[in-house]
Amino acid sequence: MDAETSGVREVASGVYLLERAHVNCYLVASEGSLVLVDAGLPRTWPLLRSALRAIGAGPADIDAIVLTHGHFDHVGMCDRLWTEFHRPVRVTEEDRELVRHPYRYAHENIRWGYPFRYPRSIPVLAGMVGAGAIGIKGVDARGDIRPGDEIIGGLVAVPSAGHTAGHCGFLLEKSGVLFAGDALVTLDPYTGQTGPQIVAGAATADSGRALAGLDAYAATGARLVLPGHGAPFDGGIDLAVRAAREVGAH
């Protein structure tokens, strides 16, 4: 497999994981719709083109980009998709301003000390920089995603605020697949630790709220958890939530 396609794989029927520099986004072909869940970093673009070609589509065929939240590493391709292809970007109203300014986010802890405390994070963060994490442009997203609503393609919005004020996961009910964003990850970029957990306070607005908010994820009964960072977790949402609560906040 060449460099252009090595970060693309089908992880469930019609669901393609695009991973570049430990940042995930997902192309979902479901119920006659083509949806991009999160938009990764700018240099994820070749992976997106490759995944689209594999299903006989192009960027103009994407019906919507739905964002779990507005951090810079989840909006990296939004500007290009909007500017060149006029693809709509959707998020919760609470995160709409963050999508416009994806570096202006609330966080509990000072970030600079994390690489010294957790040296395993250094290559992860360096890789993100190499994939275009600096200089990402925000966009004017639609703030029309509301928890509990079916959004598009059978995706149902699941509230998970805490990482950001308006963080929202998406459940593909027919497949039991939960797109967890950064409310529940299997790799924390700021510590380098693996396994189900919430993201460290270097990038999380309210860890207590984030941990409490995992109840909504547990209620989905999802069999496969697809995080914003790290490998898919196929042990079921209940096990993932229990593990994350055991890890707690950093």
Q: What is the 3-state secondary structure (H, E, C) of 36-63?
A: EECCCCHHHHHHHHHHHHHCCCCHHHCC
Q: Please check whether residue 3 lies inside any domain of the structure.
A: no
pTM over 0.75: yes
Q: Tell me: the pLDDT tens digits for 208-226? A: 999 999 999 999 999 999 9
- Residue 124 located in a structural domain: yes
Is 17 within a domain?
yes
In a domain, residue 158? The reply is: yes
- Domain of residue 90, residue span: 8-247
Q: Count how many domains the chain has.
A: 1
- Give residue 111's pLDDT band: very low, low, confident or very high (50, 70, 90): confident
CATH code at position 224: 3.60.15.10
Residue 56: left (phi > 0), alpha (psi -120 to 50), or beta? left
Whether 115 maps to a domain, the answer reads yes
pLDDT on residue 5: 54
Q: How many CA atoms lie within 13 A of 235 on its CB side?
A: 12
Position 1 in a domain: no
Residue 2: inside a domain:
no
In a domain, 165, yes or no: yes
